Each structure stands twice: as structure tokens, then as C-alpha cells.
């Protein structure tokens, strides 16, 4: 088990749920660096803090937070409030679909014990792109 494998497998699962209309953000850490022209639907994954938690003997049990970023719709003219509001729930539902898949598949990684604590932000806009951020935690184990 490695964190890199969990990240890689989680990205694979995100891509599978979102389909081929979504591509990975070039800059997940600083979303404003991305150009949204011509590539409307994107996603990113950021690994957050990791903490050891109580587990069983012979295993190290870790809990790590992750953030999914979903974007949609570059529009050549300013987006109306109604358009912005209508895009938010669609992205939130997509984020929740990804989360449900990660629970079912355990992020595509056998060392993952549980995926939990989903939270999704309200929509924000950046250069006529609508962005949501969803966080969740992954508990995983490795043999000591």
C-alpha cells in the first residue's frame, strides 16, 4: 500500500464515474491558473492531511482527507445568476456520485477500509467557470 497508489486509483475511479467528457485539471492546487477556454468540464484531486488513528495490532491505520474539485462551463459572456445557480446542484450531484462509487469500490484499493464524511461546498465562479469542492476521508491500513 502506498498513498500514491490510493491517489492514482482514486483518480481512475473519478474518471470512470465522470466519463470521457471530463479531463483532469492541469492545476488542482491553484485552480485560477487553469484556462477554461475550450475545455469545459474538469476535475482535480488533492490529498490533504493524514493522521494515524486507533486500529488493530500488526497494522498501521491512517485517516487521510481528500478534496475533489469539479468545474463546468466556460461561457463567452458573463454567466447570469440563474445559470450559475443551476450549475451548482449538477456538480454537487456529480461529486456525490463519485463519493458513492469510492465507497463501493474502496477507492479501487484493497488497503482502504472505509470512505466517509462527505462534504460539498456551495458553487463558486472563476472566469465564468463554476467550481465546487467536495471533501471526504479515507481510512486505510498497512501491515507493520
d(CA 126, CA 40): 12
Angle, CA 101 vertex, CA 24 and CA 104 arms, to 5°: 145
What's the domain range around 71?
3-143
Contact yes or no for 68/137 (Cβ under 8 A): no
Q: For the chain, what is the domain count?
A: 1
How does pLDDT run along the chain (144 residues), one tens digit per residue? 578 999 999 999 999 999 999 999 998 998 888 887 777 899 999 999 999 888 667 788 999 999 999 998 755 556 566 666 677 888 999 999 999 999 999 999 999 999 999 999 988 888 778 899 999 999 998 877
d(CA 99, CA 7): 14
Give Cβ neighbours of residue 77 (< 8 Å, ≥ 6 apart).
128
CATH code, 120: 3.30.2000.10
Angle, CA 103 vertex, CA 129 and CA 123 arms, to 5°: 20
Contact yes or no for 72/102 (Cβ under 8 A): no
Amino acid at each position: 500500500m502506498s498513498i500514491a497508489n490510493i491517489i492514482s486509483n482514486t483518480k481512475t475511479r473519478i474518471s470512470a464515474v465522470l466519463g470521457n467528457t471530463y479531463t483532469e485539471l492541469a492545476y488542482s492546487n491553484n485552480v485560477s491558473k487553469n484556462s477554461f477556454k475550450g475545455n469545459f468540464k474538469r476535475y482535480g484531486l488533492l490529498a490533504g492531511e493524514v493522521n494515524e488513528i486507533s486500529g488493530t495490532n500488526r497494522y498501521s491505520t491512517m485517516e487521510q482527507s481528500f478534496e475533489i474539485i469539479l468545474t463546468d462551463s466556460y461561457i463567452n459572456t458573463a454567466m447570469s445568476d440563474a445559470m450559475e445557480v443551476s450549475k451548482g446542484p449538477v456538480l454537487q450531484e456529480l461529486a456525490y456520485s463519485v463519493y458513492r462509487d469510492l465507497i463501493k469500490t474502496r477507492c479501487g484499493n484493497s488497503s482502504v477500509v472505509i470512505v466517509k464524511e462527505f462534504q460539498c461546498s456551495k458553487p463558486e465562479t472563476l472566469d465564468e467557470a463554476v467550481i465546487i469542492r467536495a471533501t471526504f476521508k479515507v481510512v486505510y491500513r498497512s501491515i507493520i
